[in-house]
Amino acid sequence: MSLIKNNPMRGGNKFKLGVFGANADGCLSITKHPDRWMAEWDDVVAAAQISDRAGLDFFLPLARWKGFGGETNARHISYETFTFAAALSGLTQQIALFATVHTLIVPPVYAAKALATLDHASHGRAGLNMVCGWNQPEFDMFGLTKPDQVYDQGKEWFEILKRTLSGEAPFDFKGDFFDLKGVCGAPGSVQKPHPITLSAAFSPPGRDFAAAACDCIFTTFNTHEDAAATIADFRGRVEKADGNAGLFAPVHVVCRPTTTEAEDYYESYAVTQTDNAAVDQHMAMKKKMSGSHDPAAYDLYRKRFAGGAGSYPLIGTPGQIADEMIRLNQLGFGGLALSFVNPKDELPYFCDHVLPLLTEAGLRQ
């Protein structure tokens, strides 16, 4: 029997923080800035270990198979996420390690086995972020077409994964998307009934899927006002589904001793030195194929797409960033997934200066 460590995603800090996207070039940014993250493996390990030692709660990779073109072909480099998390499990002590998985691409029985392996290797620190997906050129690499009812496929996928992880006697499954015979999987997961689950989504069907089945939705917002509306809408769906899912959001962070330094750096990497062609393609593809953002966001917030793939910006001093995080927690977010232009270089200052303020505010231990 594997020894279970405390998974920081279960209990612990009231407001959870982790790093998002360090498995891919640029993290969430689209930039030609010389500090740009190239996802070199030793840098990834360094960033994960800084996060682990500082007591951050999770390390969350993104799932990407193709770049967005332009000069940098942003995101053409990315590590596969189960093996990424498993490799980091031997190099970290306490942090939760997520895999981000396309339900359309990875068969659920394979995903269950990989997740169980990660959960054992990490002594119960595994997490699963399900992405039902949007990017047809990526699906073309696998000879797949995104179905219209992608979340119905996701529901069947997740049901099979859970049953496989539970170690129940061999079972058959017949649905609209899967017809499986004699499914079994041992060992089951260390965490019972299964590792922590997120679902990255925005649309009403995506919200319903997460509300009914997951521990958390991982979703986007543009302003405090629309965040409040999204949270109220999602909570209504959770109540209807009799679930207890929470909400997490991605943000991009520039934390500096002065506001001017932070804003100047943001302007330099996300405007002056952005890769405009890659930003154009990223936004055009998302506009056409993904419901992950409010349609108005593409016109209003180009800088945010260059700065952090359309996530919310946290730009400023440690005090300003901590205040904004406190506000987002008050609105109803249980955690944030942080991206930086260069996580290895920027995490130490962030952890040393922002985390103590959140502890003082009672959001973290």
Ligand X SMILES: Cc1cc2nc3c(=O)[nH]c(=O)nc-3n(C[C@H](O)[C@H](O)[C@H](O)COP(=O)(O)O)c2cc1C
Least distance in Å: CB of 206 to ligand X?
3
Structure tokens at 55: 């007591």
Least distance in Å: CB of 290 to ligand X?
4
Least distance in Å: CB of 131 to ligand X?
3
Nearer of residues 126 and 183 to ligand X, judged by Cβ: 126
Nearer of residues 139 and 265 to ligand X, judged by Cβ: 139
The string over 253-280, giving b where at least 16 C-beta atoms fall within 10 Å of a residue's C-beta and e elsewhere, is bbbbeeeeebeebbbbbbeeebbebbbb
Strand partners, 313: 252
d(CA 240, CA 236): 6
Least distance in Å: CB of 191 to ligand X?
22
Residue 275 near residue 30 (C-beta atoms within 8 A): yes
| Number of C-beta neighbours around residue 97 at 10 A | 29
Nearer of residues 110 and 202 to ligand X, judged by Cβ: 202
Least distance in Å: CB of 216 to ligand X?
11
| Element of type H or E holding 130 | strand 126-131
Residue 22 near residue 81 (C-beta atoms within 8 A): no
Structure tokens at 257: 């001793």
Backbone phi, psi, residue 53, to 5°: -70, -35
Strand partners, 217: 199, 247
Nearer of residues 121 and 249 to ligand X, judged by Cβ: 249
Nearer of residues 92 and 100 to ligand X, judged by Cβ: 100
Q: Which residues bind ligand X (CB under 6 A)?
A: 62-64, 100, 131-135, 200-203, 205-206, 218-220, 250, 290-292
Nearer of residues 164 and 219 to ligand X, judged by Cβ: 219
Residue 274 near residue 32 (C-beta atoms within 8 A): yes
Least distance in Å: CB of 223 to ligand X?
16
